[in-house]
């Protein structure tokens, strides 16, 4: 078995799950360092994991020079980036400079435009290839497992896939009037943008939340689901050119949407800096400071998430439908790791992706999305590390 030193960057909700999970696979991850902007948060996570194997460090991941110093000191084989999407490029630069493999869970976006596009990171492909290094992009649940699910469906169940609907339901209740399940700034930027989906070779844009309908989720029932743009659509339509249509749906409760509308209407979702008492502040960043910390939601979170892919296509000249999904209970995630299910479902795939890379199963010089690798070994590991998946064949997909 290959063995590797791993460096995790980002000590938030997702970073805590990644740290717990890598510590449980000592045969692969022999040494672990957790670094973030605030070192005390890394120390708290290391203590909660209880393993003396986790070293901690302070780093400003916006600074390539600081990252390079840290990488040279730690000498990891791979960096798992679970800081924020703004740090993707600086961390990739430092990886190239020091010869270290890379993995993240969210595509780069510049601070001043909420866009969610892979083009900035795909532009690193040739450089990673030349250095013999692998970068795996978007290896959380969605993006991440959703890409693996599509690759698995294409490999085992279809000759051609034609229609894809990714369905993401959080039927959890955290008991707060309003909270986001991961970093509020990133979350609100994502859900307030215009909707967008792929149909017949082009992108079709909608008003935010314009298209919605109830969809039925396993063990949960019908939940109003809203068509939003989500970053994996961009790589999936490129990597599966037979797709005639690809869409992404997410459930939102009425209470959540009402709060969101108010937040937008009063200007608190804005990412444009304003001058306040002589200091520049970004309204959305200020809002983040007063909202509940997503990492703290776990304690009182009940209910479960259900994320999956509904696919229609052709097998042996006949039309076929297929639904593959995972359900994850907030309470179980909390009991196991002290995290809520959204952090859990993101952190587990990040650990597995890193395992795929360092054990050579997903090692290929260049920059790739998860659907470009062999899904089978990853699918096996999902079952072993807390994210079992289920398949339904020839069912009504509702979409």
**Residues in touch with ligand NDP (CB under 6 A):** 10-15, 36-38, 41, 59-62, 82-85, 87, 105-106, 138, 140-144, 182-183, 186, 294-295, 342, 346
12 versus 386: smaller Cβ distance to ligand NDP: 12
138 versus 283: smaller Cβ distance to ligand NDP: 138
60 versus 199: smaller Cβ distance to ligand NDP: 60
From the centroid of its chain, how far is CA 364?
Answer: 21
Going by C-alpha positions, the residue among 97, 28, 90, 89 that lies closest to residue 59 is 90
The strand pair at 279-281 and 274-276 is best described as antiparallel
- Residue indicated by tokens 């400071």: 289
Residues 6+ apart with CB under 8 A from 59: 9, 35, 36, 37, 66, 67, 70
Buried b (16+ CB within 10 A) or exposed e, 160-172: ebbbbbbbbbbbb
Least Å from the CB of residue 140 to ligand NDP: 2
143 upstream amide cis, omega within 30 of 0: yes
72 versus 130: smaller Cβ distance to ligand NDP: 72
Residue 117 and residue 231 in contact, taking contact as beta carbons nearer than 8 Å: yes
Q: What span, in angstroms and rounded, lies between the C-alpha atoms of 197 and 399?
A: 14
Q: What element of type H or E holds 250? A: strand 245-251
Least Å from the CB of residue 260 to ligand NDP: 17
Least Å from the CB of residue 365 to ligand NDP: 23
Least Å from the CB of residue 147 to ligand NDP: 10
141 versus 158: smaller Cβ distance to ligand NDP: 141
143 versus 172: smaller Cβ distance to ligand NDP: 143
Q: What span, in angstroms and rounded, lies between the C-alpha atoms of 84 and 242?
A: 33
Residues 6+ apart with CB under 8 A from 86: 62, 108, 109, 110, 111
Least Å from the CB of residue 62 to ligand NDP: 4
Least Å from the CB of residue 244 to ligand NDP: 25
Residue number of the CB closest to ligand NDP reads: 12
* Structure tokens that stand for 55 in this block: 């070293």
Least Å from the CB of residue 58 to ligand NDP: 8
8 versus 161: smaller Cβ distance to ligand NDP: 8
Query: What is the 3-state secondary structure of 76-116?
Result: CCEEEECCCHHHHHHHHHHHHHHCCEEEECCCCCCCCCCCC
38 versus 302: smaller Cβ distance to ligand NDP: 38
Strand order in the sheet with 4-9: 54-58, 29-36, 4-9, 78-81, 101-104, 134-137, 366-369
88 versus 313: smaller Cβ distance to ligand NDP: 88
Coil, strand, or helix at residue 370? Answer: helix
Q: What is the DSSP letter of 297?
A: G
Least Å from the CB of residue 130 to ligand NDP: 27
Least Å from the CB of residue 169 to ligand NDP: 14
């Amino acid at each position: 078995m290959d063995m590797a030193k791993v460096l995790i960057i980002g000590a938030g909700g997702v970073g805590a799950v990644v740290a717990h999970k890598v510590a449980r696979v000592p045969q692969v991850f022999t040494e672990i360092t957790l670094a973030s902007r605030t070192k005390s948060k890394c120390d708290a996570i290391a203590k909660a994991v209880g393993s003396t194997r986790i070293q901690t460090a302070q780093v400003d991941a916006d600074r390539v020079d600081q990252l390079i110093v840290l990488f040279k000191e730690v000498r990891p084989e791979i960096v798992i980036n679970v800081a924020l999407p703004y740090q993707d490029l600086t961390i990739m630069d430092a990886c190239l400079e020091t010869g270290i493999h890379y993995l993240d869970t969210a595509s780069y976006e510049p601070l001043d435009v909420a866009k969610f596009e892979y083009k900035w990171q795909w532009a690193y492909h040739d450089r990673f290839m030349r250095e013999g290094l692998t970068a795996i992009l978007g290896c959380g649940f969605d993006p991440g497992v959703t890409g693996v699910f599509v690759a698995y469906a294409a490999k085992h169940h279809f000759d051609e896939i034609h229609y894809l609907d990714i369905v993401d339901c959080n039927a959890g209740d955290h008991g707060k009037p309003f909270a986001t399940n991961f970093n509020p700034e990133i979350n609100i930027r994502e859900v307030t943008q215009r909707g967008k989906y792929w149909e017949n070779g082009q992108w079709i844009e909608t008003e935010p939340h314009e298209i919605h309908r109830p969809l039925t989720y396993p063990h949960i029932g019908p939940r109003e689901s809203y068509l939003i743009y989500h970053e994996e659509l961009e790589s999936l339509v490129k990597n599966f050119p037979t797709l005639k249509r690809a869409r992404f749906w997410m459930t939102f409760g009425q209470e959540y949407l009402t709060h969101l509308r108010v937040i937008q209407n009063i200007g608190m979702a804005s990412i444009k800096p304003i001058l306040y008492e002589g200091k520049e502040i970004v309204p959305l960043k200020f809002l983040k400071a007063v909202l509940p910390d997503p990492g703290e939601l776990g304690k009182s979170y009940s209910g479960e998430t259900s994320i999956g892919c509904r696919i229609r296509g052709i097998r042996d000249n006949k039309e076929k439908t297929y639904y593959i999904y995972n359900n994850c209970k907030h309470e179980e995630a909390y009991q196991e790791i002290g995290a809520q299910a959204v952090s859990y479902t993101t952190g587990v795939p990040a650990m597995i992706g890193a395992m795929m890379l360092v054990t050579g199963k997903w090692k290929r010089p260049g920059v790739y999305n998860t659907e470009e690798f062999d899904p089978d070994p990853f699918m096996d590991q999902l079952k072993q590390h807390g994210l079992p998946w289920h398949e339904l064949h020839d069912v009504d997909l509702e979409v």
